[in-house]
Amino acid sequence: MGYKFEQLEVWQLAMEYTDLVYDIAEQLPSSEKYNLKSQITRAATSVALNIAEGSTSQSSTEQARFLGLAIRSLIETVACQHLINRCQYLKDPEPLRNAYRASEKLFAKLQAFRHALIRNKSLPSVREETDLYLLDNDNVLKE
């Protein structure tokens, strides 16, 4: 069956972006394990998680709020990339360039989705229909 957020292009892009960020984080020196490495990976993960969490919102306004949180986390990852570049932690800056380009695309898609929800509050939010995931008396998922 699957969840509706899994079909959202912004969520799929966020997952791809997270992969890029994790690849960068793995190249950081061990001295950054609890600083930049932790910060950038948590922020990247937060982008995808906020998109998913917002998809279960009760209204378009609430979903737009979660998309706003995703955007903030995305911006945080970009700031971390600037710090990584400034400290010259990567021998090859190409992964940073790729992540930055991916962040621009993801940012634009998140902004467009959020603005569409805000502008047209009559649009249904992308949320799960709870009756699709009901349990029977034996706590077994029924379809």
Q: Which of 18-32, 65-79, 99-113, 128-142 has the lowest mean pLDDT?
A: 128-142
Contact in structure between 74 and 25 (CB atoms under 8 Å) = no
Kindly state the tokens that stand for 43: 């922020």
CATH code of the domain in which 126 resides = 1.20.1440.60
| pLDDT tens track for 77-124 | 999 999 999 999 999 999 999 999 999 999 999 999 999 988 876 555
Residue 24 domain boundaries: 4-142
The number of folded domains in the chain is 1
Q: What is the pLDDT of residues 115-134, one digit of tens each?
A: 998 887 655 555 444 444 44
**Predicted pLDDT at 124:** 53
Average pLDDT, the chain: 87
| Cα–Cα distance measured from residue 52 to residue 40, given in angstroms and rounded to the nearest whole number | 19
126: left (phi over 0), alpha (psi -120 to 50) or beta: beta
Q: What is the pTM of this model?
A: 0.83
